[in-house]
Amino acid sequence: MSPGEVVAVSLNTALDITYTVPHLMPDTSHRVTDVVTRAGGKGVNVARVLGRLGSDAVVLGLIGDDATGSDITAELAQAGVPARFVRVGGRTRRTVSVVAGPQATVLNEPGPHVTAAEWTAFQELFAGVVREARVVVLTGSRPPGVPVSAYADLAGIATAAGAEVLVDTEGPALRRALDTAPAVAKPNAAEAAELIERPVRGHDDAVAAAQRLVDLGARAGVVSCGADGFVAVTAGASYRVRVPHPVTGNPTGAGDALAAVLAHGLARRVPLPDVLARAAAVSAAAVACPWAGGFDPDVASRLLPEVIVRTTERKQDTCTSPPR
């Protein structure tokens, strides 16, 4: 398997189980009307969407040395998603999403414990593959045992190899990664709240959080706000991006679809406003998909001309980088 132009890191790979129910109520039993089981975790979801966008993407990750881990590798191979994993001791985690109408309830297991030797093995795999990559996406949670510096460490390796970095995480791991000056930092509103020490409750708060991402080192800060779209801030401009009408469905993978389009734009050196408009359309179309890691292309095509991008310019800016 050849390295991809985009490497999507999946440190906490999971077997995603999505249940659809008519209604979700506590303290009662439910009859499930549909079940979908497939490989997941944010890095895997991003790679799936990248493949649909036409990017040559590969997943690098950690999975447990168990039957669930084998199910994940088999499903990805069947789906045509290139992936390479370091096997670790312990049980591969599972996630359960319960979708009821426009709402989704997600239960995430913590993942297997990763030893120092296993983490070193992953870094060695990553360093070998990233030499041929244009973009690296560092996204999702860390399993137990993986250090808080993990994304910063991987970002440093990627940058030294000449790759752009997009980071989508939270807390101390995000702050450490910002020290490496990633091309894009993309937390959601809840994850970004810590940066401004208050909840992100509207456009102004989201812009403040995105600006804080830039102040801390990112070239572009993007904060996703669910059905309200997202904001982006760079040294040159700030953008408010949204579709005019919310899409109903399963919102679980919308943020991953947004990250995928941003990574695709970085890899193809597309002007930033065009990236943002397409990102809004695809992330909204991901809600129309019953499971994370996909999007409805017909919905995306319909929404793209309707996307509202409001720009406050400080100077001309693009999502480009010098040729490697």
Active site residues: 256
CA nearest to 258, candidates 235, 274, 281, 292? 281
For 67, residues 6+ apart whose C-beta sits below 8 A from its C-beta are none
Q: What is the DSSP string of 111-159?
A: -----HHHHHHHHHHHHHHGGG-SEEEEES---TTS-TTHHHHHHHHHH
Distance, in Å, from the CA atom of 11 to the CA atom of 85, rounded to the nearest integer, reads 9
Half-sphere CA count of 235, side-chain side, radius 13 A = 9
Cα→Cα distances 91→15, 109, 111, 135, Å: 11, 10, 7, 30
From the list 56, 61, 80, the residue with the least C-alpha distance to 15 is: 61
Distance CA 285, CA 297 (A): 7
